[in-house]
Structure 1
Amino acid sequence: MIRVLFVCLGNICRSPMAEAVFRDIVEKENLSTEIQVDSGGTGGWHTGKKPHQGTRDLLDKERISCEGLAARQVKKSDWDDFDYIIAMDDQNITDLHGIRKEDGAVVIAKLMDFVSEPEEVNIPDPYYTGDFMYTYKLVSEGCSNLLNYLIEKHTIS
């Protein structure tokens, strides 16, 4: 089982969007028994809350379920519980290293690291930009490429 944790600042916009999108494509590829998906935030301000209304509206429009998602804060034990911790931006990476210094066996990367020649190296936060569709476009591309990477690296079929 490959375990993937998506991370952003508050876990209400980008990372739950990535969790929902990635879970959707994993299910469509019949890989749910091979890949586990979750999300968290480096901050705990929104703990227990549903994803942002803009994220929920966009996912509904795209017919991607976000049922059951609730914000949580990243914790040190996530380094032991996940194989990949995938951040949305450089600040998330810095914050992750502040939560736990040593990486152990977990791979910490940005979602856009899996996109060759990306439009952006960081996924803009729609909480501030208001552009949920652009965030969705980047998240979708990153998630698709991440899945292809995991299938190839771990010879999943």
Structure 2
Amino acid sequence: MIRVLFVCLGNICRSPMAEAVMRDLVEKEHLSHKVEVDSAATSSWHIGDPPHRGTQGKLKEYGISTKGMQGRQLQKADFENFDYIIGMDESNIRNIRTMLGNLDSTKIFRFLDLTDHRKDVPDPYYTGDFQETYDLVLEGCHALLEKIKGQYKL
């Protein structure tokens, strides 16, 4: 099983959006038995909370479910349990490395570094632009799934 963890600051906007989009893509490619997806926060602000209503609304527009999703905080065990730990922005990457013990690992990387954008995913909690975030997350998830399929010959 290949395990993917998306991480952002609060785990209510970007990382749950990426989790839901990636799960949807994995299901459509009939790879759910090979790829598992989760998300987490670097902060503890929204532990147990559902995704932000803007994230839920945007995903609903595209027929993507957030059922059962709850915010959780990144844990040291996640480094051992996941093959990919993906931060939505540079600040998330710094926080991930600090929280996990300053590990220098290729399994930790910034999400859009897999795309031509090579930039941070803007946080719609602050920008209000859930469409821009969705578009970037969808592109990033497609790129990540192609990377996984190539790397693991799926």
Q: TM-score range by the shorter chain?
A: over 0.9
Q: 1:39 to 1:58 in 2, by over 3 A?
A: same
> Are the aligned partners of 1:41 and 1:72 in contact in 2 as well (CA < 8 Å)?
yes
In structure 2, the residue corresponding to 1:153 is in which secondary structure?
Answer: helix
CA RMSD of aligned residues (A): 1.2
- Separation in structure 2 between the aligned mates of residue 26 and residue 151 of structure 1, nearest angstrom: 10
Whether the 8 Å CA contact 1:26–1:35 is kept in 2: the answer is yes
Q: Distance in 1 between matches of 2:106 and 2:46?
A: 25
2:145 matched residue in structure 1: 147
C-alpha distance in 1 between matches for 2:111 and 2:21: 13
Q: 96-105 or 49-58, which moves further after superposition?
A: 96-105
What's the offset of the Cα at 1:104? 7.6
Q: Is the 8 A contact 2:97 2:104 kept in 1?
A: no
Gaps (5+ residues) in structure 1? none
Q: Which consecutive aligned stretches of 4+ in structure 1 deviate over 4 angstroms post-superposition?
A: none
Give the TM-score taking structure 1 as reference length.
Answer: 0.95
Identity %: 50
Deviation at 1:106, TM superposition (A): 6.5
The one-letter code sitting in structure 1 at the alignment partner of 2:123 is D
2:28 aligned partner, one-letter code: K
Kindly indicate whether the alpha-carbon contact (under 8 Å) linking 1:4 and 1:38 is maintained by their aligned counterparts in 2.
Answer: yes
Structure 2 length as normaliser, TM-score?
Answer: 0.97
SS of corresponding position for 2:69 = coil
Tell me the SS of whatever aligns to 2:92.
helix
